[in-house]
């Protein structure tokens, strides 16, 4: 392998990952200054990565759905105080919406969406006060400002707008000059370290040491999440005895907070902050883990049964937390999990046309209706697909997942290269090498529906720089080639190729899409292929419950099953490929359309007559192995994200 050097990096799942301080710091993008540990990777600015192929189709579906039109008919946005409207909604909904609208607009370079963004940003900038405060005067709460900061920093990256930077800078002066106000019984206290995302961003651009003092003050005076994750309180014993729900058990608080010790580690350099992230993730999986990388929280933590829900806000915030943690630690396992959430849980809790969403999704979801379920606190509307089921926070906050995933497909490395962190069809333009030569890399693939990924490089002159490629933990026998050179690609590592790249070079990565199983609650199994979970395709009867607009197809929907769902699988969990037949197709313009899934699996099974519905959900999963004398039948499984009704955790039939 002449002119080519390979380096692989191994990261244990429960231990912190490596940093790249050995290489120094990236010369072309803002990085941490003196006294602050460098992150493993460096996030690229919004707009540097553009979606292609099916992923562009998915973002276009989003732009044509709720994200692109919600502000035209939903009162919380149409009359928002964040647009200067008197008596309008003045808390989090406007900033939440923009936290997804801004990166979507610039990922697609969509003039219509960019025009929607401008009045919101103009008003935010104009609202700035001499003391640094900004936003609606009618709401003195710091929490919505933390979300607005994330909006402003994304807008500034996409446009270079100096005024947006100035609002962020002045607000941190306000925090510096005013006493801490982060009570544990309020959202602003539990989520106080969300401000640190903008704080580190600001420090990397200004070098102002006062910003770090503010970040430290916030950490010192807000809820002790490091201790919480280190000594996780909501174990099986606590669930069995019952507990009074509160801020520490709130699933969205936790999804946001899992990144807080990790991002603070750059400043503290204290190993306990790094370890808290991994211990916390392990505990969440052990006591509340669900299929698709999520953890249960129908508002509050609720265990591992596959009929317990997870709030949509928790899915999108968990994705963002993991994106920040990948930047800090460079851990490929964290990126594996982003794909599980983004390619399964996120589309599975929205309709394929992005005009309706659930508040709570279930792994085993056999009826979508207004009815009592075993939620910990949510109301009877929580699992219908609609505009504002249960509460409107998810209606405002659901929009960030897809465009932020696109932003983080690629990251810069500290040694002036690039890392393919998450896979999906896309094009990245970035500065690389010692001189900052601009490279364009196009990623051609149907991933996650297929495992073939081609990278085509365009660059004006030959330039030496490193490229890193994440090899997922499940991808045994992956193949990585540069021209005629084959490069070792061990699973669960970043493989690095360092050489002089020239215009027209191509790299081919093949990730084997072998069917595998995962043992879940009551010894049931889930079936995966690549990063996708597969669920039983159930016939659906849709009933419109309520419309929300005369102009747009926004409505609330009940979905009833028209085919049986209570099946166990005839499968050897240790060798599932021997029992499963796979059929593939190209993704359609609506990638997660139930009627045209890109991948279908067929497997034998038997009905389990004793497995019935309980409390309007699938009853407790029978403990595997299960005996059934029902006739053998062929079952069709499709991607979780393509289903609205589903069984994802299957009993295993004892044959």
Instruction: Kindly state the tokens that stand for 60.
Output: 């276009």
3-state DSSP assignment of residue 654: coil
Provide CB contacts within 8 A for 147, sequence distance 6+.
92, 95, 96, 99, 194
Q: What CA–CA distance (Å, rounded) separates 488 from 551?
A: 55
Q: What is the pLDDT of residue 23?
A: 46
Angle (nearest 5°) at CA 88 between 83 and 90: 80
Residue 267: both structure tokens together: 């400043």
Spatial separation of the C-alpha atoms in residues 1 and 340, rounded to whole Å: 34
pLDDT score for 21: 34
**Beta pairing partners, 458:** 440
Q: pLDDT, tens digit, for every residue of 15-64?
A: 223 333 334 799 999 999 988 999 999 999 999 999 999 999 999 999 99
Q: In whole angstroms, what is the distance from residue 161 CA to residue 152 CA?
A: 9
N-term to C-term CA, the chain:
50
Residue pointed to by tokens 């189709």: 57
- CA 106/CA 111 separation, integer angstroms: 9
Q: What is the pLDDT of residue 4?
A: 37
Tokens 């630690």 belong to residue = 329
Q: Give the H or E element holding residue 298.
A: strand 297-298
Q: Tokens representing 579?
A: 């029992």
Is 474:623 a contact under the CB 8 Å cutoff? Answer: no
| CA pseudo-torsion sign 340, 342, 343, 346 | positive
Q: Are 413 and 468 in contact (CB under 8 A)?
A: yes
- Find, among 8, 23, 14, 7, the residue nearest to 434 by Cα: 23
- Which pLDDT belongs to residue 130? 97
Question: What are the beta bridge partners of residue 604?
Answer: 634
In the chain, domain spans? 74-221, 409-510, 516-642
What would the DSSP string read from start to end of 410-421?
EEEETTS-EEE-
Length of the chain equals 655
Q: In Å, what is the CA distance from 447 to each residue of 56, 342, 443, 488? A: 13, 12, 10, 21
pLDDT of residue 68: 98
**pLDDT for 570:** 97
Separation between Cα atoms, residue 540 and residue 229, nearest integer Å: 41
User: CB of 454 within 8 A of CB of 506?
Assistant: yes
From 417, 435, 453, select the one nearest 5 (Cα to Cα): 417
The predicted pLDDT at position 226 comes to 98
Cα atoms in the 13 Å half-sphere on the side-chain side of 25: 13
Report the distance separating Cα 386 and Cα 395, nearest Å.
9
Residues in the chain predicted with pLDDT less than 50, given as ranges, are 1-23
Packing angle of the helix pair 93-108, 53-64 (nearest 10 deg): 140
For residue 435, give every residue at least 6 positions away whose Cβ sits within 8 Å of its Cβ, in sequence order, or none.
Answer: 463
448 upstream amide cis, omega within 30 of 0:
yes
How deeply is 544 buried, as exposed, middle or buried, from its count of CB atoms within 10 A (0-12, 13-18, 19+)? exposed
Q: Model confidence over 105-129: pLDDT tens digits?
A: 999 999 999 999 999 999 999 999 9
Task: Report the Cα 504 to chain-centroid distance in Å.
Answer: 33
Instruction: Quote the pLDDT of residue 147.
Output: 98
């Amino acid at each position: 392998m002449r002119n080519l050097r390979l380096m692989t990096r191994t990261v244990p799942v429960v231990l912190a990952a490596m940093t790249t301080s050995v290489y120094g710091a990236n010369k072309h993008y803002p990085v941490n200054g003196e006294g602050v540990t460098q992150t493993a990777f460096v996030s690229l600015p919004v707009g540097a990565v553009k979606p292609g192929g099916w992923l562009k189709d998915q973002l276009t579906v989003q732009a044509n759905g709720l994200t692109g039109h919600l502000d035209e008919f939903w009162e919380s946005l149409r009359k928002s105080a964040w647009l200067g409207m008197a008596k309008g909604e003045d808390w989090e909904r406007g900033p939440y919406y923009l936290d997804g609208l801004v990166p979507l607009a610039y990922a697609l370079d969509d003039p219509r969406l960019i025009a929607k963004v401008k009045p919101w940003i103009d008003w935010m900038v104009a609202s700035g006060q001499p003391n640094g405060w900004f936003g609606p005067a009618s709401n003195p709460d710091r929490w919505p400002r933390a979300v607005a900061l994330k909006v402003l920093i994304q807008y500034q990256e996409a446009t270079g707008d100096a005024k947006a930077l100035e609002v962020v800078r002045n607000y941190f002066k306000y925090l510096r000059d005013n006493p801490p106000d982060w009570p544990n019984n309020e959202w602003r206290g539990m989520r106080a370290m969300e401000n640190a995302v903008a704080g580190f961003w600001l420090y990397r651009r200004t070098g102002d040491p006062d910003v770090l003092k503010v970040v430290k003050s916030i950490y010192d005076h807000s809820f002790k999440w490091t201790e919480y994750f280190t000594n996780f309180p909501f174990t099986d014993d606590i669930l069995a005895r019952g507990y009074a729900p509160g801020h520490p058990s709130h699933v969205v608080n936790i999804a946001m907070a899992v990144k807080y010790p990790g991002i603070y580690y750059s400043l503290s350099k204290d190993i306990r902050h790094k370890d808290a992230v991994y211990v916390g993730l392990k505990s969440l999986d052990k006591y509340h883990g669900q299929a698709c990388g999520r953890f249960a929280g129908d508002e509050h933590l609720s265990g591992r049964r596959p009929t317990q829900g997870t709030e949509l806000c928790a899915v999108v915030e968990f994705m963002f937390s993991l994106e920040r943690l990948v930047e800090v630690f460079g851990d490929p396992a964290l990126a594996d999990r982003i794909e599980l959430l983004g390619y399964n849980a996120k589309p599975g809790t929205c309709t394929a046309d992005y005009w309706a969403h659930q508040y709570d999704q279930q792994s085993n979801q056999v009826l979508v209706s207004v009815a009592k379920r075993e939620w910990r606190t949510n109301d009877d509307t929580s699992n219908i697909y609609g505009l504002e089921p249960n509460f409107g926070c998810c209606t405002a906050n659901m929009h960030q997942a897809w465009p932020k995933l696109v932003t983080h497909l690629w990251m810069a490395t500290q040694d002036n290269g690039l890392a393919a962190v998450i896979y999906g069809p896309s094009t990245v333009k970035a500065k690389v090498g010692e001189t900052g030569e601009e490279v364009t890399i196009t990623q051609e693939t149907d991933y996650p529906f297929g495992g073939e990924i081609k990278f085509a490089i365009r660059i004006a002159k030959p330039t030496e720089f490193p490229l890193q490629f994440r090899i997922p933990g499940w991808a045994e026998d992956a193949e990585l080639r540069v021209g005629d050179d084959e490069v070792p690609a061990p699973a669960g590592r970043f493989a690095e190729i360092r050489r002089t790249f020239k215009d027209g070079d191509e790299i081919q990565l093949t990730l084997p899409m072998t069917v595998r199983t995962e043992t879940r609650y009551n010894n049931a199994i889930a079936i995966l292929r690549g990063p996708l979970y597969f669920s039983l395709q159930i016939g659906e009867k849709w009933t419109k419950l309520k419309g929300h607009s005369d102009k747009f197809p926004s409505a609330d929907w009940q979905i009833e099953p028209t085919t049986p769902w209570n099946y166990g699988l005839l499968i050897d969990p240790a060798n599932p490929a021997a029992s499963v037949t796979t059929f593939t197709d190209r993704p359609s313009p609506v990638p997660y359309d139930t009627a045209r899934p890109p991948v279908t699996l067929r497997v034998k099974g038997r009905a389990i007559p004793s497995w019935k519905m309980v409390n309007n959900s699938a009853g407790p999963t029978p403990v595997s192995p299960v005996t059934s004398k029902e006739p053998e039948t062929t079952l069709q499984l499709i991607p979780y994200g393509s289903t609205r009704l589903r069984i994802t955790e299957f009993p295993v039939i004892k044959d």
